[in-house]
């Protein structure tokens, strides 16, 4: 069987390059068809050129490459679909962080949850559902892998509103596991773990080195090595007080709770330094986006023309495809799926991030049980806010969107209810034209 993989949003060049590279390392995919699709012809051309470089460097002569702006053409006959879209450019995205900042909610990244993540979700959902429904219609047996944020809300809506075989993937689980292994001097292949929660707020419920609990070693490294502590200050503080390590970086996690960003002195102490891959100051992704917007072609040229490393990386997508329609090697990964009997003390039907087994039979989520009670308090709050936001998005109910923002931990730590309502009204107004489901009165109706 000749396999076809469609990349929707292929102009996300780094993702596309890395995932294509990984895919072609599997013998089952050496003669596959790679179909790149993006609505931006310029970015699509860069992506096509970058993939051609990989094909040439690896001498993958049997592989076929397509590039198109037509989504139906890309999806026709696809066995696997990778989605890396972003809806709206920097000019609209910056409102997500600048308007909350005006009200005192200091956001670092803003792509996952909270006021910024929710409005990013509202903009992205219509296009994402269109893509998923095209998959449902054109290639209904395909495996659909989403990399777009906000991961949990998008996956929850896709999986409730369509029948596609979908999950969402984030590299934070395997990336953090490798970081922790490095801190204690353990070879990554000797580490095993169980990790569960929701996207960016999943916790390692156990973390073992050759079958023995490695958490005491991690605690010693964090407490005794200033360089280790300083590398991830927010996450290390969470670990020292909550006893379990969270998956996503300090910059992200500083936004998801009430402890680190509600006062300037706390931001200076915990968030300005030692946030892993990104600075922890306000609006870091907007600042990065401004640099990219001004010289994106130069950046793309640099990425495209870097020396090509053909070694397989750690992203899950190629392993999943190989398990389902490649050589059939089983693969366990952490994926985003709806919570039907998976985590006992998170909302039924909400999107959770749990171990999933990929095989010839498809994707099978694994029951985890209960989160520790104190973690469940934190994760439930975020999960229930996401459920409210999804319901509001699907029904066009601005009131539910306001309520989802109102219970966000950081927002509620800083603002009154009326201030939150005013902020949400302003966010709706700034997004006018992007949210057809909410056309009409730009304000949240305060009366029921």
- As annotated, the binding site for Mn(2+) includes 170, 200
Catalytic option among 95, 171, 273, 374:
171
- Largest interatomic CA distance in the chain: 65
Task: Give CA–CA dist 260/264, Å, rounded.
Answer: 9
- Residue from 114, 5, 11 nearest 423 by CA: 114
- As annotated, the binding site for substrate includes 149
Other Cβ atoms within 10 Å of 171 Cβ, number: 18
**Kind of pairing between the strands at 143-146 and 80-83:** parallel
Buried-exposed string 309-333: b where 16+ CB fall within 10 A, e elsewhere:
eeeeeebbbbbbbbbbbbeeeebeb
244 and 205 Cβ atoms separated by less than 8 Å: yes
Q: Which residues contact 227 (CB under 8 A, 6 or more apart)?
A: none
Task: Give CA–CA dist 351/153, Å, rounded.
Answer: 7
Could you tell me the two tokens for 382? 């975020």
Sign of the torsion angle spanned by Cα atoms 156, 383, 125, 284? negative
To the query of whether residue 171 is one of the catalytic residues in this protein, the response is yes
- As annotated, the binding site includes 149, 170, 200
Torsion of CA 257, 246, 96, 164, to 10 degrees: -130
Other Cβ atoms within 10 Å of 190 Cβ, number: 12
389 and 411 Cβ atoms separated by less than 8 Å: no
Residues labelled as active-site residues: 171
């Amino acid at each position: 069987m000749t396999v076809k993989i469609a990349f929707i949003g292929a102009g996300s060049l780094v993702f596309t390059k890395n995932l294509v590279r990984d895919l072609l390392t599997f013998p089952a995919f050496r003669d596959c068809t790679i179909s790149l699709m993006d609505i931006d012809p310029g970015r699509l051309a860069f992506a096509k050129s970058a993939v051609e470089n990989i094909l040439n460097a690896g001498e993958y002569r049997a592989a076929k490459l397509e590039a198109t702006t037509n989504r139906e053409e890309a999806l026709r006959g696809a066995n696997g679909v990778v989605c890396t879209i972003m809806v709206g450019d920097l000019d609209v995205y910056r409102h997500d962080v600048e308007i909350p900042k005006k009200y005192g909610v200091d956001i670092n990244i803003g792509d996952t949850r909270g006021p910024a993540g929710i409005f990013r979700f509202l903009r992205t959902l219509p296009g994402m559902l269109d893509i998923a429904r095209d998959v449902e219609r054109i290639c209904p047996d395909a495996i659909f892998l989403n990399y777009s944020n906000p991961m949990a809300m998008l996956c929850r809506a896709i999986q409730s509103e369509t029948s596609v075989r979908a999950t969402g993937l984030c590299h934070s689980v395997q990336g953090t596991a490798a970081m922790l292994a490095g801190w204690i001097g353990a070879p990554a292949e000797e580490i095993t773990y169980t990790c569960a929660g929701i996207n960016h707020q999943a916790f390692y419920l156990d973390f073992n080195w050759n079958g023995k609990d490695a958490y005491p070693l991690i605690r010693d490294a964090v407490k005794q090595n200033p360089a280790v502590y300083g590398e991830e200050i927010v996450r290390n503080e969470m670990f020292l007080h909550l006893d379990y390590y969270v998956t996503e970086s300090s910059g992200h996690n500083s936004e998801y709770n009430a402890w680190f960003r509600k006062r300037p002195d706390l931001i200076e102490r915990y968030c300005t330094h030692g946030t892993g891959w990104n600075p922890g100051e306000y609006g870091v992704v907007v600042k990065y986006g401004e640099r990219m917007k001004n010289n994106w072609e130069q950046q793309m040229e640099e990425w495209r023309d870097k020396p090509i490393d053909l070694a397989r990386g750690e992203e899950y997508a190629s392993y999943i495809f190989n398990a389902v329609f490649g050589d059939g090697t089983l693969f366990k990964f952490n994926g985003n799926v709806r919570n039907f009997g998976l985590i006992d003390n998170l909302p039924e039907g909400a999107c959770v991030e749990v171990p999933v087994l990929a095989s010839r039979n498809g994707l099978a989520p694994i029951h985890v049980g209960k989160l520790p009670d104190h973690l469940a308090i934190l994760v439930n709050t975020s999960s229930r806010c996401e459920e409210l936001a999804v319901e509001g998005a699907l029904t066009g109910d601005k009131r539910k969107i306001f309520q989802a923002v109102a219970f966000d931990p950081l927002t509620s730590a800083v603002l009154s209810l009326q201030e939150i309502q005013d902020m949400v009204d302003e966010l709706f107004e700034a997004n006018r034209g992007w949210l057809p489901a909410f056309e009409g009165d730009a304000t949240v109706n305060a009366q029921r």
